[in-house]
Amino acid sequence: MKLRLSSDFTVDIDEYKREGLRFSILAMSGHGKSNAAADLVEDVLEQHGQVIIIEPIPEWHTLKVRFNTVVVIGGPYQDLPLEAAFAHEYVKAALEKGISLVVNVSDIEDDADQVKFVSSFLWNLYRLEQKYRRVLFLVLEEADIWAPQNWDAITKQSLSRVSLISKHGRKIGIFPVLISQRPADLHKSPLSQCNINLFGKFTSPADLSEKTGIMYLVKKLHLAISEEQIMRLESGHFIISDKFGVHTVPVRKRLCPHGADTPLIEPKPFTADLSRALSGLRDEIAKAVAAKKDEDNVVKRQEKEIGRLQVQIKDLEEKVKIKLSVKEMMAGGGVTPEGPGSNPAKIAGLKEEVGSLRRKLQELSESDAKLADILEVRNAQLKGFDALREALVGFLFPNGLPTASEVGIMTPNGVTVGLQHVKKIVSLEEARLIVPTIRTDTVKGKILALAENSFFDTWRSVGDISAKLVDDFRFNTSDQAINGALKELVDEQILGMKHTDRNRWELAPSVVFEVKKVRAIDEAGK
């Protein structure tokens, strides 16, 4: 398959068989970003490839003008309704039948729920694609929404899954295409995995920044591109970096109309087979939605009945206590002339009430048995999760769960902080006897040199360290090598590590570098 972005620039997929394809298309609004992405997608569809597009606003439905294998889920131009709980069904149908999808999430009103749905969709795609292994282009419009640079508890999962697909999707045939007009807001982990980058025009200092914007990626990839070149690009022109170098390319005009400019279209009719498949899937979704609603109603009724029975049990228990107390008074002769024992009719009534109370308790016991059956079914559903948890604990911690001092403590603001182990590299007394040597020809030595220059006076990530190694030493290495060196330094109690979803490292407070003083002593000794 060949993708022609202009008359003189083509991407041949065969040349990327080993490493896979990962695109980024970055440009400010109105400068050809959508046209470049559509040109790429149209080429894939023209050659009977499969595409899945996730969009927050309706734009890509116009593909239906030309391609009758494109199905729109959700949004105002939908072929199928979007139900947030059925991401698995959409992905499975697309992979089984080879359907291309445009998934519009605008029907989900809450932004957090949109992110949760996209996260579930990506996870199902990654999991099911391992079975089907179709060559599939995954287009993420506004990728900075699903993989933000400044993530939170809500976007953490979607970011991890975008990163997972960017790193490992090529093994199962998924080629991601990240589209954004805000590269400063797009997380650099998936972005740095892209091996074909289309840089369009930008003028914003934030989006051009060497720390978070376009120039960060340019610098990381050692590309000969300047800010001025990017700022002077004409609309529709892109600077493209690939394995063969850097090219300035005017991208071709797309075939299908722009969705934002042409909201009303006449779609190309589906084939009879696809129409039947869509009809069947629509019926399945409707039935599943109805079944889920019924299930939710049953659960709510059960919870309500449980609450009612609990109140009734408590009330009856109180009555039993009162009746038993009265009975004990009567049996012990403690009844006063004015009390209940002085009237046989009252005693008979009391016995009848006790008998009635026992019958109610029997009925309640039977109700409890029914309730126990209901709870047993629900508890059985949780046993699988318990088994999975135990298996994961056994796998992750074969020597038993770590203590609180090993994993860290939770501060009042919800931040987990790992406890540090510290020691001195060279004490003041030792300085006269030991000459420490920092060998900067190793990854560990370079990291120690950064520590000596106060780089680790604050918490640093692997990405921070990688970028600093490039800045200070023009040294580019893998995250795996950096992680190995960091582990050694933590084991040696030189660095402390903060345990989070993405670990951070900081110089242990008690570590003292005496290198300069030692060198001075050594020279004096000579």
Q: Give the residue, 414 or 198, on which the prediction is more confident.
A: 198
Q: pTM to 2 decimals?
A: 0.56
Closest by alpha carbon to 365, among 302, 316, 424, 322? 316
Per-residue pLDDT reduced to its tens digit, 295-349: 666 667 777 778 777 787 877 877 777 777 766 666 655 444 444 444 566 666 6
Query: Residues of 266-289 as b/e, b for ≥16 C-beta within 10 angstroms?
Result: ebeebeeebeebbeebeeebeeee
428 Rama class: left (phi>0) / alpha (psi -120 to 50) / beta: alpha
For the chain, give the percent of residues with pLDDT over 90: 28
Nearest to 34 by CA among 262, 241, 225: 262
Confidence band of 491 (pLDDT split at 50, 70, 90): confident
Higher pLDDT pick, 510 / 332: 510
Are 156 and 148 in contact, with CB atoms under 8 Å apart? no
Amino acid identity, residue 12?
Answer: D
Q: How many Å separate Cα 302 from the centre of its chain?
A: 33
Confidence grade of residue 133 (pLDDT, cut at 50, 70, 90): confident
- Averaged pLDDT of the chain: 79
Q: Is 420 helix (H, G, I), strand (E, B) or coil?
A: coil
Per-residue model confidence (pLDDT) at position 5:
86
pLDDT per residue over 237-279, tens digit each?
999 999 889 999 998 888 888 766 555 566 667 676 777 777 7
How far, in Å, are 33, 209, 333 from residue 221 at the CA level? 21, 15, 97
Residue 73 binned pLDDT confidence (cut-offs 50, 70, 90): very high
